[in-house]
Structure 1
């Protein structure tokens, strides 16, 4: 399953009793880019990422992946796309009564994308790369916050998806882990994974570790802002 296009056609989404996050939006998302999603506090960046992940369904309009309307798909129909989407939302997504190792193994084993032996080797390698191997068999509640946040991010990467959705990824992450995470994303992209990356963040120093383009969410509409590809990369 190769994801080649993402598009909103007349999409409106709102939380009950609130102003619309997006309203009648027509937007072709740039592909093969790292996209910085920018908006005012509370404008709905997280909700936008959740729509892109298929976790929220618009009240009207069409969210198209490869020309197919996600809003009309059953769970089974959406699954091939779902397996190509990695997402990390703040500290959420981990199962509290499972170890960090088990949390990272779960999607690989459940979806049977690789053998159990390959899954074990991949997870062990990830934990070692990020210096978290000593916490592997601890549960999320028993590890430092930075390790819990790191595990949420690694959970988004472990399937080596085509679409990567990250909500405030640098918040609560140690500086060494930030560098390691950015390097890992760059390496996956060079290997042909994580082609389409969406990052919601207020951390400009973190974002300047990437070559990005910008999407603005403003008053229910989406706007694309091209960024000079020659812009400098600033280290933290």
Structure 2
């Protein structure tokens, strides 16, 4: 299932007794871009990413993927799209009673997207790339926060999805890990994966390692800001 378009039509969402994250929003999301989602703290950037991933459902309006309304889809109907969406939210999502290796293997084996031999090879490649071999058989609670964060990021890309949602991906990482992760994102995009990448971050140095466009979330509305790539990329 190829993701070719994402669109909000009159979308509203709010948490209980809080200001709306989005309110009656009409927005065509740019495709085939790295998009930096920017907003004031607490404005709802993480929630916006969760809506895009189908983890939160708008309370009104239409969220359209390829013209199909996610709001009206059953779990089974949304699943082909879900398999093309990777996400990482802070330190969450790892299964505590599984090793880091098992956590990385799980989505590949559960969804049977590749043969078991290929799944194992792909996971080993990631473990070696990020130099985590000595932690691979440890459970999430028994590893440093940096390693746990890396495992969350690695799992977001292990399926090699078309669409990637990253919430504060650089928080808690060392500089070497940041470089390795960004290099891996660039390589996956070069190989034809991660066509649509959404990143919520306050880390300008991290974002400067990529060519991006900007989406602003402000007072419940979304705004697109085009950015000249020649004025953007610097070095840490």
In which range does the TM-score fall when normalised by the shorter chain?
over 0.9
* 1:91 matches 2:91: yes
Question: Which residue number corresponds to residue 59 of structure 2?
Answer: 59
1:122 maps to what in 2? 122
Match of 1:24 in 2: 24
CA distance in 2, matches of 1:13, 1:62: 11
What is the rounded CA distance, in whole Å, between the counterparts of 2:223 and 2:233 in structure 1?
A: 23
The structural deviation recorded for 1:133 is: 1.2
1:152 maps to 2:152: yes
Aligned to 2:101: 101
Provide runs of 4+ in structure 1 moved above 2 Å: none
Tell me how far 1:66 sits from its aligned partner.
Answer: 0.3
Residue 232 (structure 1) shift: 4.0
**Match of residue 171 from structure 1:** 171
Matched residue SS, 2:230: coil
Unaligned 5+ runs, structure 1 = none
Look up the SS of the partner of 2:51 in the other structure. Answer: helix
RMSD between aligned residues: 0.5
Provide the C-alpha distance between the structure 1 equivalents of 2:86 and 2:40, rounded to a whole number of angstroms: 24
Q: Which residue of the partner structure matches residue 81 of structure 2?
A: 81
TM-score, normalization by structure 2:
0.99
* Cα deviation digits, residues 35-62 of structure 1 (max 9, x gap): 0000000000000000000000010000
- Cα distance, 1:229 vs structure 2: 2.2
2:39 corresponds to? 39
- Between the aligned partners of 2:72 and 2:134, the Cα distance in structure 1 is 44
Query: How far apart are 1:230 and its partner, in Å?
Result: 1.7
Q: CA deviation at 1:233?
A: 1.7
1:161 partner SS: coil
Whole-angstrom distance in 2 between the partners of 1:13 and 1:57: 8
Q: Distance in 2 between matches of 1:172 and 1:229?
A: 27
SS at match of 1:18: coil
Aligned partner of residue 230 in structure 1, secondary structure:
helix
Residue-by-residue CA offset, 1:101-154 (whole Å, 9 max, x unaligned): 000000000000001110001000100001111111100000110000000000
Q: Distance in 1 between matches of 2:4 and 2:231?
A: 26
Deviations 1:24-81, CA, capped at 9 Å, x for gaps: 0000000000000000000000000000000000100000000000010000000000
* Whole-angstrom CA distance in 2 between matches of 1:181 and 1:57: 30
- Aligned mates of 2:234, 2:203 — CA distance in 1: 12
Find the aligned partners of 1:58 and 1:10 in 2 and give their Cα distance: 10
CA–CA separation in structure 1 for the residues paired with 2:202 and 2:84: 26
Report SS of the residue matched to 1:173: coil
